[in-house]
Chains A and B, each alone.
Chain A
Amino acid sequence: MSLRVLVGCKRVIDFAVKVRVRPDKKGVVTDGVKHSMNPFDEIAVEEAVRLKEKSIAGEIIAVSCGPQQCQETLRTALAMGADRAIHVDIPVKDYEALEPFHVSKILARLAKDEKADIVIVGKQAIDGDCNQTGQMTAAWLDWPQATFASKLEKGDDGTFTIAREVDGGSETIKVKLPAVVTVDLRLNEPRYATLPNIMKAKKKPLAKKTVAELGVDISPRVEILSVEEPPTRKAGEKVETVEDLVKKLKDLGVV
């Protein structure tokens, strides 16, 4: 079995950055802000690389949709062990309105064109938090989906046994290929890209495609009306006695 794996990697604002709302209140500040690969997509790439190390996967193709800087994210995927990358170039002005509905069509088209056996993506991106792309991709392809994967094991009959994180615990399912898998936090701990591998990654193939070639319509379907910060937390109050506490709670009408 030598599977071809398609892995989705989204470029997002780095999780450690304090996000700020843009002055025009239509989005967040992205200029000059550190970006990196969506942490769940790192887990997806790591899992694909582990499949290759176990000789289950033969080729890993990393995909990212967005403006030119997405190529940095793809280089990280290549440094982690992906074999080649595809950058689906989306102009900056169209990128803000790009959503799972569009991206899933792109991934589905690429999965078909590249003859992928398995599509692995993070369960959600830390900017949109949509948790839709994997599921929609499976729908377009009419493939089975295993979402929130926390364990992935190949069976002897060519199927995969996957444990899923669900409310209240874990659900184990058996999935026939081709399939879409979305990965959750506990699946693995992604490796750090080593410097020698980053250098080698510069020589790995990176192809550029447009949505026109892929026949995908990315017209916006949603209009952002406004983006606002959550209200600032008010200072708390210290009280001296339990009686004071009860009185204050009563005054606030909560007891």
Chain B
Amino acid sequence: MFLRRFLPVLPITRFAHNNQSASAAARVVSISDKVVDTLKGIVGSENLSQNESVREHHGQDESYHSHLIPELVVFPRSVEQVSECASVCYSNSIPMIPFGTGTGLEGGILPLRGGVTFNLMKMDQVVCVNADDFDGTVEPGVTRKTFNNYLRDLGLWFPVDPGADASLCGMAATSASGTNAVRYGTMRENILNLEVVLPDGRIMHTAGKGRRSRKTAAGYNLTNLFVGSEGTLGFITQATLRLYGVPEATVAAVCHFPSVRAAVEATVSILQACIPVARIEFLDEMQMKASIEYSKLQDLSELPTLFLEFNGSEKSLEEQAKAAGEIAVSHGGSEFKWAKEHSERNKLWAARHNALYAARSLAPNCKCIITDVAVPISRLPEIISATKDDIKKSELLATIVGHVGDGNFHACILADPNSTSDMDKMKELANRAAERALSMNGTCTGEHGVGIGKRHHLSKQLGDVTIDVLRSVKKMFDPKDLMNPGKVI
């Protein structure tokens, strides 16, 4: 569907907006009352807000970056409204920021040049679920937990689990991953089609409207171009997702190790034994200390630990668990502590997902940077040890958690915001972690995205030619650089 509104380019009149700081106002585009009225005409005045609290709410996510507020926020209720608003903003050269649940970790929703934030959460329908075909289509307002709840009667689930109850379309935008990626893949492997609104307002279906075949070789893979584009190429207004059957049986286990190296090497061995482990997560002794206290875990010790989960048929579970147990013990691991009941397993994984909050509770009022590097699995023992040594030298508090099955780990590094030297140390540690990963054929971001804070790593990671090509792609979609400016590249 080709929707384009032909509006005269409205002159941008300068209006003093009280709440922007002087330095920010210099770069920020002011929005004329005429444009505001036009936008109100599209979404309705109850779906547009210039209210300070509403704008503040849209000026922060879960990252350590400072807050910035947009000029105004719109809450479109349909793809047509998104399209018309985008068209208006584009012709008036106003930056546009897509916003989902605000649970991102890289400042992806910060309006660096002001503009209009498009909160897409009011588009909240599960468009369709085709149980026999294992696919379902959702709008941005559908979160991961809401969707899995919806699917429960069908025995289906969507396994990508980044912890937060994030918008599925938002997860598509950041190429989210999570604890289940080792078995089920990330968003990249699980999206069949996307409906997007381009910066100029045109509506596009990346695989063609209504297409939901499990595989296709038709044309360039535009679907995966948008996955991970972090809102810089357009708005994702619908995602068609690959679903999986809820497995017959699931069991979780905890295993302690005498050292970080032992735990990580056990992981590598388990994968090399082709055990189809569903989740394999590493927590270092600092994280265990924080999580035991914060999540009130019982009968666990402050040692380098692996949390594992196996699923499949009852029989295969027995085999998997036995094989993994033997490997763990051979690396010095303790006997497995089992969690079979639904609620027990939930408690364990909730603790893992609350790792960030647990870490922050070790030093309240501190800022926390979370690294997100990923390397080939065989290099994991080396990079985690080197990162831990680096952290020790800096004398900052930090915990380490990791999707070790994917070679991806996070260091949550805490620093007192009132100490410039500590804050600098924190940022330098994160930079060195990324550089270390790059020197090992890895990536500076496994799943959180580039956002604002990792752009400087991208050219080293991708190389000049690749970066040039990326810039050309961005320019092709968004010649005026209005779509979530200042992010990714």
User: What is the CA–CA distance of A82 and B154 in the complex, to the nearest angstrom?
Assistant: 17
Residues of A within 8 A of B245 (CB): 194-196
Residues of B within 8 A of A14 (CB): 150
A79 touching B155 by the CB < 8 A rule?
A: yes
User: What is the CA–CA distance of A36 and B342 in the complex, to the nearest angstrom?
Assistant: 20
Residues of A within 8 A of B342 (CB): 189-192
The answer to the question of A198 belonging to the interface, with a C-beta cut-off of 8 Å to chain B, is yes
User: What is the CA–CA distance of A34 and B136 in the complex, to the nearest angstrom?
Assistant: 15
The answer to the question of A16 belonging to the interface, with a C-beta cut-off of 8 Å to chain B, is yes
User: What is the CA–CA distance of A190 and B341 in the complex, to the nearest angstrom?
Assistant: 10
The answer to the question of B389 belonging to the interface, with a C-beta cut-off of 8 Å to chain A, is no
The answer to the question of A197 belonging to the interface, with a C-beta cut-off of 8 Å to chain B, is yes
A198 touching B146 by the CB < 8 A rule?
A: no
* Per-position 1/0 for B227-257, Cβ under 8 A of A: 0000000000000000001111100000000
Which B residue's beta carbon lies closest to that of A35?
B153
The answer to the question of A76 belonging to the interface, with a C-beta cut-off of 8 Å to chain B, is yes
* Per-position 1/0 for A171-196, Cβ under 8 A of B: 00000000000000000111111111
B153 touching A194 by the CB < 8 A rule?
A: no
B343 touching A16 by the CB < 8 A rule?
A: no
Residues of A within 8 A of B152 (CB): 36, 192-193
Partner of B150, one of A16, A37, A192, A195: A16
The answer to the question of B149 belonging to the interface, with a C-beta cut-off of 8 Å to chain A, is yes
Most buried by A among B146, B156, B249, B346: B156
Residues of A within 8 A of B343 (CB): 188-189
The answer to the question of A127 belonging to the interface, with a C-beta cut-off of 8 Å to chain B, is no
A72 touching B153 by the CB < 8 A rule?
A: yes
A189 touching B346 by the CB < 8 A rule?
A: yes
How far does the Cβ of B349 sit from chain A's closest Cβ, in whole Å? Answer: 13
User: What is the CA–CA distance of A188 and B342 in the complex, to the nearest angstrom?
Assistant: 10
- The range of chain A's interface size is 20 to 34
Residues of A within 8 A of B156 (CB): 195
Which A residue's beta carbon lies closest to that of B341?
A189
* Per-position 1/0 for A28-41, Cβ under 8 A of B: 00000010110000
Residues of A within 8 A of B246 (CB): 192-195
How far does the Cβ of B315 sit from chain A's closest Cβ, in whole Å? Answer: 12
Partner of B247, one of A16, A72, A194: A194
Residues of A within 8 A of B150 (CB): 14, 16, 34
* Per-position 1/0 for B144-177, Cβ under 8 A of A: 0010011011111100000000000000000000
* Per-position 1/0 for A193-235, Cβ under 8 A of B: 1111111000000000000000000000000000000000000
B153 touching A36 by the CB < 8 A rule?
A: yes
Query: With A189-B342, A189-B343, A189-B346 known to touch, is A76 a contact of B247 (CB < 8 Å)?
Result: no
B146 touching A16 by the CB < 8 A rule?
A: yes
User: What is the CA–CA distance of A14 and B153 in the complex, to the nearest angstrom?
Assistant: 11
Which B residue's beta carbon lies closest to that of A50?
B341
- Between A and B, 22 residue pairs with Cβ closer than 8 Å are A14-B150, A36-B152, A37-B153, A72-B153, A76-B153, A189-B342, A189-B346, A192-B152, A192-B157, A192-B246, A193-B152, A193-B246, A194-B155, A194-B245, A194-B246, A195-B155, A195-B245, A195-B246, A196-B245, A196-B247, A196-B313, A198-B154
Known pairs A37-B153, A190-B342, A194-B245 / 8 extra A-B pairs, C-beta < 8 Å: A34-B150, A36-B153, A72-B153, A188-B343, A189-B342, A192-B157, A193-B152, A193-B153
Residues of B within 8 A of A (CB): 146, 149-150, 152-157, 245-249, 313, 342-343, 346
